[in-house]
Chain A
Amino acid sequence: MGDRDGYFGEFGGRYVPETLIPALNELEQAYRSAKSDEAFLLRLEDLLRDYAGRPTPLYFAERFSEEVGAAVWLKREDLLHTGAHKINNTIGQVLLALRMGKRRIIAETGAGQHGVATATVAARFGLECVVYMGEEDIERQALNVFRMQMLGADVVPVSSGSKTLKDATNEAIRDWVTNVATTFYVIGSVVGPDPYPRMVRDFHRVIGRELRGQHMEVSAKPPTHLVACVGGGSNAIGFFYDWIDVGPRLIGVEAAGEGVQTDRHAATLTKGSPGVLHGARSLLLQDADGQVQLAHSVSAGLDYPGVGPEHAWLNAQDKAEYVSVTDAEAVEAFHWLARVEGIIPALESAHAVAHVRNMAATGLSADDRLVICLSGRGDKDVAAVAARSGATGHG
């Protein structure tokens, strides 16, 4: 892949203030040496197994399969400690912070899932942890705010701009610029300046790698489709990476919010244009003047106007395809999966489920073998969905 020089084709790079360049160089070096350090890799593996709960099961979703007329498996990242794939990455980055002697951790969070996963691992290693979160998200995700505080993190409300993930990320970067000597910035997705997109991807690659062995055990033939939701794109890239150019269609599902024809969506790959946000050149939602637009999704974890540069590159090369699913379809799939499989998915992951249902409507074949990355569990969303159901009269 185009990892050289921190670019994926024309996407990626380091569009950051000069103060961060030495920090990114230092991080790059630390990461490069850690990647080939047996002791580091063993420690990472141990923590992923005994602390986070890897490997996650590959579950054959029997009733789901019957309903859609094709074989469907769920890669159960929702069963990990803290309830989402996010912890794969936070364990990796916090181990790097320790290796670099940085004892202050900062992070941004939207839904609070990355914040919780960061606060969790920081607590495990006794590190100071500050999480930036938009005021709007603090209101939407009160439960996760309590969780972070319980874990000892300082949750700092961000009141600038749209008061959501985009602005929380700006604020985390400002903190890093200010406290660069002592602080490690744990980014929550495959976004940001190089080396973050490839580093975060590598920490999530375990998802797709596990799938290889697991799928061979249950099926003589490889999967035909891998489907994952895309916010910044970390669960999707971790799931896809070892399967690029291997055979299965790779399908990323973005949030269409109230519809991609409206201005209330988060479908960056479908509707965005090239630009620079948070230190990387990628696709983003912007107006004619180059101002970044607000994204919208019922799922706070997908509510981001940018996307990881490697997805922009996979998209440009047609190595992966990107589609979108509306709020209404995602909420419907949330309820549906709960009843059909007894699994309440995160609203983010429900987008991937909804897309497979949409595919069934236009025709899946009985030979199709689909694997969905179930990136997280839905406990955090139950209250919001209940409130919405009340409003719309849903079951």
Chain B
Amino acid sequence: MDRIQAVLARRAERPLVIPFVTAGFPEPGATVPVVCAMGAAGADMIEIGIPFSDPLADGPTIQAASETALAGGMTLRGVLTVVREVRLSPEMDDVPLLLMGYCNPLLRYGLAEFVRDAADAGVDGLIVPDLPPEEAQELSALCQPVGLSLVFLIAPNTSRERIGTIDSCSTDFSYCVSITGVTGASGAGGDSTVEFLQRVGEVASKPFVVGFGIKNASDVKRLGPHAAGVVVGSALIDRLAVAADRVSVAVEFVGELVAAARSCGRRD
């Protein structure tokens, strides 16, 4: 069974914890140790952000992280090198790695070449926030034969019918955007997010995770029971930005999130 399916099978025990870090933030060498440490600390999957000059779905934290990463020389090729290095670590053998990035760098790299190199490096899935299913046919066709999982986004204003379409386009699971807004926004843990996730649950045949603006253990406790997993990005990056020891800060934060997820208990 592939890594993503194996991890998704565990979702009945507790909601999955999926941290997000921007590759190359705050410096080129920072990402590999942080990712490996988070995997060891119990992160179920890890999203690695590909920095882009014009991240229009991102709030100030990830915008700034992308700018810093680019200024430090991170490139898409560099991101794939990060993935290869992470895969050298035996404790990361089973942890799915997802790349999240805007489509222009992928197009520039060449979609076919990128998909081939990403799969080869050990990437398990892709999230491309500015590529709705209508524009993703070519990428889907390329990902399928090499087993790269495509994750499409569902928003709170997505119609019921369209939720069904997106669910069927996503390979293994979809990603629910907690609020109409950008990453790091406030208001993710509210009633309307819970109602939204319940609505998705009525339609979707595949699992779905939730992200954008999930800040802490209490958000995980609130939303975890309604999704297969929770993605935490800006809140982690905010901590890394001011950390003296980034690895221990990441380990501690992921530990808190995993504990909160455990407290949600089994659901089936």
Residues in A lying within 8 Å of B, measured CB to CB: 13-19, 21-23, 160-161, 166-167, 170, 173-174, 177-181, 273-279, 284, 286, 288-292
Contacts and interface: CB of A to CB of B under 8 A. Distances in A.
B152 interface: yes
Contacts of B58: 174
B105 A22 contact: no
B132 A18 contact: yes
Contact of B162 (A21, A166, A178, A286): A21
A170 B56 contact: yes
Contacts of B25: none
A161 B53 CA distance: 7
B57 A160 contact: no
Contacts of B57: 17, 174, 177
B158 interface: yes
A173 B56 contact: yes
B130 A16 contact: yes
Interface in B162-203: 162, 166, 177, 180-182, 185
Contacts of A17: 56-57, 129-130, 153, 155, 177
A17 B63 CA distance: 16
B52 interface: yes
The 5 closest A-B pairs by CB, nearest first: A290-B108, A290-B105, A19-B155, A18-B153, A291-B53
15 contacts: A15-B131, A16-B132, A17-B153, A18-B153, A19-B155, A21-B132, A178-B185, A180-B180, A275-B108, A276-B104, A276-B107, A277-B54, A289-B75, A291-B105, A292-B53
A129 to B, nearest CB: 21
B245 to A, nearest CB: 29
Given A15-B135, A19-B180, A276-B103, A291 B157 contact: no
Contacts of B130: 15-17, 276, 279
A370 B108 CA distance: 39
B255 interface: no
Given A22-B159, A174-B182, A278 B135 contact: no
A245 to B, nearest CB: 29
Nearest to B134: A14
A161 B67 contact: yes
